[in-house]
Chains A and B, each alone.
Chain A
């Protein structure tokens, strides 16, 4: 299947999963109508729950399902879908609240029946999960802690909601519907087991060993890993993997990093990681010989997706060079002849990661490089300032029919580059970037 048709197929699978409980409801037998607003509200509740349930599947990192889109976009979608689902559940509650408030019974959990309290708890938990995710940074919630709580609270919310649905029980009364609903719940449980047990188990059986930790410019480190007792990982240049260091894969203390090494060399892999956050600051203390685990490869940010492109343009900033470096190194190893352009933005010349390696690659590739420095040394004759339309116009091939553009770096850079490329008449579909905040 072509990526497009498999993408369409997976979208349809998603829509079907979300609509399934409602279709079952519609298929009857159902209790007689109880008024338009009441029935509408109940149906919204089911719809919201179906969407919330599928949220678990979205983040289970199924490689096949994510391949046509890129897993970053699936996480992005997960955020949108959560908002829609929460909206449906809120509407479910508010309609009853406004239309038939007495049906809600007492708020006090001591006086209210358990299944009604379960519904209220589920709604509150879902709201907490969404708020703490969308505003994790302003709320200053630590990423590690957030990940653990996100999974726990989301699961608790679903359990409470299922208890609420079971307790109310009007629509799930018909035995076959009851079984369907049980099966649906069971599917989520299986999913959680898969993600929490089967997947980490698979990672544990394919361990990696740190063989080198090498300092780079710009307080970055390159971490080289070698497979231990297996053949390693085949990836496309530009892809990334979730890396677990100093911990078991069952603890989910993993972080996504782009491969920086060539995809044309089997076995050994390299990641280049800048010391930015709590985890990345500890990279320099990792010792050769330590164990590591990988979940990957993921991502669609790769020249390999465009075999027929006449050439490629890369715009990178800071450590955003890592996946670009992987693409350049791979291209060199493959004897790539197509024209390549790299616009590489940094603050200071001393901090330009891979400065020397890029220079060496220019001998092996048809590669033009433009360094852009925000704080250049006095004798600097190259580009200075930030990436904008005028700058890109100077370096990107004019009216480049069919070139593909890869942007990787801090958000302000990729945003500016996107705007500039659009102004230069580059079609949106040719501009690629990860939607992750990899830092």
Chain B
């Protein structure tokens, strides 16, 4: 008898929190996100440099905090960032220098400070890759 109630209470607790989690996710994302574009971002003029930047982006684990075309951490999407920011700003945001340093959380600053050890060539490639991201995401 009592074991029966145990299962009931455990089930209520489990379903209850899952429903709350669903409610949270649903309230946070009122519109069903459109399918993320599957195509790679449009190629920019300096295609070789952009390709190198894409490789560094993957190698440095930027996707742990950022998403591009729906891939990676959707919390901070980078789609369209190339249209939004110029090269100097992008550099600041990647390295957490200048005004970006104040806007970023302490933890992000710590991570990004690590990128200051990157070589100039790598940075240039990353910036070029960022600049190639001119299409805003279809997802909200």
Residues on A with beta carbons closer than 8 Å to the beta carbon of B99: none
B1-21: which residues lie under 8 A (CB-CB) from chain A?
1-7, 9-10, 12-14, 16-18, 20-21
Give how many B residues have a beta carbon under 8 Å from the other chain's beta carbons.
45
B13 vs chain A, min Cβ distance (A): 5
Among residues 2 to 40 in chain A, which have CB atoms less than 8 Å away from a CB atom of chain B? 11, 14-15, 18-19, 22-23, 25-26, 30-40
Q: Tell me the interface secondary structure of chain B in the complex.
A: helix
Q: Please tell me which stretch of A59-67, A99-107, A244-252, A364-372 contacts chain B, meaning at least 4 of its Cβ atoms lie within 8 angstroms of it.
A: A99-107
Distance A38 CA – B140 CA, assembled complex (angstroms): 13
CB-CB < 8 A to A435: which residues of B? 2-3
Quick one: which of B4, B17, B22 contacts A88, CB cutoff 8 A? B17
Residues of A within 8 A of B105 (CB): 169, 173
Q: On chain A, which size bracket covers the interface?
A: 35 or more
> Are B17 and A80 in contact, CB atoms less than 8 angstroms apart?
no
- Asked whether, in the complex, the Cβ of A40 is within 8 Å of the Cβ of B21, the reply is yes
Q: Are A43 and B20 in contact (CB under 8 A)?
A: yes
- Contact status A102-B1, CB under 8 Å: no
Task: Say whether A26 contacts B22, CB under 8 Å.
Answer: no
User: How far is the CB of A82 from the nearest CB of chain B, in Å?
Assistant: 10
Say yes or no: B140 contacts A103, CB within 8 Å.
no
Q: Are B9 and A47 in contact (CB under 8 A)?
A: no
A160 contacts which chain B residues (CB < 8 A)?
none
Q: Which parts of A120-140 form the interface with B (CB within 8 Å)? A: none
Most chain B CB within 10 A, of A23, A106, A113, is at A113
Residues of A within 8 A of B61 (CB): 105-106, 111-113
B40 CB to nearest chain A CB (Å): 14
Q: Say whether A33 contacts B140, CB under 8 Å.
A: yes
Interface flags for A421-435 (1: CB within 8 Å of B; 0: not) read: 000000011010001
Please determine whether B6 and A73 come into contact, CB atoms closer than 8 angstroms.
yes
**Chain B residues close to A by CB (< 8 Å):** 1-7, 9-10, 12-14, 16-18, 20-30, 32-33, 58, 61, 63-65, 67, 70-75, 105, 107, 111, 139-140
